[in-house]
Amino acid sequence: MKYLFSRYGGHLVIPGKGKASDDKLPEDQSLKNLFDNHAFKMNGFSYLSSYEMLPEFMGAYKYLPKNAVKIADMEHDFTDVFFQAGTTVNSSIYIAPYQFSNIFSCFIKTDLKPLEDDMGKLEQSYDCVLVLRISGKSNEEIKNEMGDFIINVMGTLLYEMDLKDDNRIIKPSNTYLGKKINMKKIHSIYKTLPKMEDRKMLADELEKITKFKLP
């Protein structure tokens, strides 16, 4: 049943073809091709979303990368399967560098036990749902502006998870990255998410509250 989750691109099925997300995948799934031609362009960064298409390096992982750092826990309505509306779950959020110093993967691990009465036994996994590339910044600038980058990660994740009309509770982790989360900026995103009709509006809002601008 997990393959139906929207985080695996299972939110839409094309008759005779399978998942819509698979239909969007290019033959060349290299990072360069995906970021150059298929990523969503924001202000100062771009990203790939498993909610839209699922490259081979995204999806469910049994283990986290060794360099992953937890940034927050989030209590929210479960929206990955439409008929599960109203079920509250908890997701832990992690980020990890991926191959290059300016590319990061975002993982979520959702406690699926509240769903098992309806869906049966579900295996837990760390799901790589976003891969983000920072543009036009040196390694030192990335390090200094990591707090604002995490706001971009969190805002993008909320948008992609379709939590725009949901009450959610975010608790920053006690890690060095979790301590960089500015909850005032998170709450600013909360207020505008219900009005966001597209990613351009998301990009504009994130640019207002962070240092990430177009290079």
pLDDT in tens, 60-95: 999 999 999 999 999 998 888 765 457 889 999 999
What 3-state class would DSSP assign to 214?
coil
* Percent of the chain scoring above 70 in pLDDT: 90
pLDDT in tens, 12-27: 666 666 666 666 778 8
Host H or E run for residue 205: helix 199-209
Q: Which helix (H) or strand (E) covers residue 200, if one does?
A: helix 199-209
Predicted confidence at residue 121, as pLDDT, reads 85
Q: Which class for 63: exposed (0-12), middle (13-18), buried (19 or more C-beta within 10 A)?
A: exposed
Q: What percent of the chain is modeled with pLDDT above 90?
A: 63
- At residue 97, the 3 state secondary structure works out as strand
As a whole number of angstroms, the distance between CA 61 and CA 125 comes to 6
Q: What is the pLDDT of residue 131?
A: 98
- What is the 3-state composition of the chain as percent helix, strand, coil, each rounded to the nearest 5? 35, 25, 40
With cut-offs at 50, 70 and 90, classify the pLDDT of residue 198: very high
Report the pLDDT averaged over residues 109-134.
Answer: 90
With bands split at pLDDT 50, 70 and 90, how would you rate the model's confidence at 11? low
Please tell me the distance from the alpha carbon of residue 63 to that of residue 155, in angstroms, as a whole number: 25
Report CA Rg, the chain.
Answer: 17
> What's the predicted TM-score (pTM) here?
0.91
More confident residue, 191 or 128: 128
Q: Token pair for residue 121?
A: 């036994």
Distance (Å, rounded) from C-alpha 107 to C-alpha 68?
9
pLDDT at 191 over 80: yes
Greater confidence, 11 or 154? 154
204, containing H or E segment? helix 199-209
Amino acid at 178: G
pLDDT of residue 151: 96
Residue range 51-68: average pLDDT?
93
Higher per-residue pLDDT: 138 or 17: 138
Three-state DSSP state, 14: strand
In this prediction, residues 113-136 reach a mean pLDDT of 89
Average pLDDT over residues 131-151: 95
Hey, what amino acid is at 124? Q
Average pLDDT over residues 203-207: 93
202 CB burial (10 A radius; 0-12, 13-18, 19+): buried
With cut-offs at 50, 70 and 90, classify the pLDDT of residue 186. Answer: very high
pLDDT of 158 reads: 95
